[in-house]
Amino acid sequence: MPRPRSLSPDRLAAAALAVLDRDGLAALSMRAVAAELGMSTMALYRYVRDREELELLVVELVLAGVDTAPPPAGLPWRERIEVLVRRMRDTLSAHPSVVPLTVSHRHHSLGVLRWSETVLTVLAGAGFEGGRRVVALRALIAYVNGALQLEHLGALSGAGTAAISDLPADEFPLMAATARDARRVDAEREFFGGLAVLLRGLE
């Protein structure tokens, strides 16, 4: 019977995402999101319990955008998983600042659950059962999480690699050499090369 809500959780999350995409993770604050929506800071607390819940909404919004439809049935199972992982990566690459948030909020996200369900479907179809299936799924999630963070916090093309390549050659001969090679490995090859290794190991 009272006054109707003027905001949907989606609009709230969209405002937070706009702040993230424009100004980065450090700029995400209750005040910034409120300003983005043209309302007062405290008004947000009619929609979320605290900042953490707002972060979860953003993660939900982004991950809900991942296509979790079963990948083409004609493909071998390893390529079907690669399709699923690629969809996840493409979605998160469009919003790099969200990547760190996904780590802590993964468990509570419906989007992740749906994606995982589809991955499990492929794994089950490939004959994975019981503990082996658990290990396979968790290894995939661990790799994707870790690789996406590496990609957005310390890309191979970044300053870190450059700094490494002129390390003292006597103590770090291989690091220096590998850093030089690394400049010729782009992000795509790094990410999917590693994924291919993992999938080969699952066979």
CA 93 to chain centre: 8
Q: How many other CB atoms sit within 10 Å of the CB of residue 103?
A: 12
Amino acid at the residue 198:
L
Choose from a copy of itself, DNA, none: what does 70 bind? Cβ within 5-8 Å by kind: none
Residue 28 CB, nearest approach to DNA (Å): 7
Residue 3 CB, nearest approach to a copy of itself (Å): 33
Query: What distance in Å separates the CA atoms of residue 171 and residue 167, rounded to the nearest whole number?
Result: 8
Residue 148 CB, nearest approach to DNA (Å): 23
Among 17, 20, 28, 148, which residue interacts with DNA (rule: CB under 7 A)? Answer: 28
Choose from DNA, a copy of itself, none: what does 18 bind? Cβ within 5-8 Å by kind: none
Choose from DNA, a copy of itself, none: what does 187 bind? Cβ within 5-8 Å by kind: none
Q: Which is nearest to 144 in space by CA: 65, 81, 76, 95?
A: 81
Residue 46 CB, nearest approach to DNA (Å): 4
Query: What distance in Å separates the CA atoms of residue 69 and residue 67, rounded to the nearest whole number?
Result: 6
Residue list 31-60, contact with DNA (CB under 7 A): 31-32, 39-43, 45-47, 50-52
* Residue-by-residue DSSP string for 140-166: HHHHHHHHHHHHHHS-TTSHHHHHHHT
Whether 82 contacts 199, CB under 8 Å: yes
Choose from a copy of itself, DNA, none: what does 136 bind? Cβ within 5-8 Å by kind: a copy of itself
- Summarize as ranges the residues that interact with DNA (CB under 7 A): 1-7, 27-32, 39-43, 45-47, 50-52
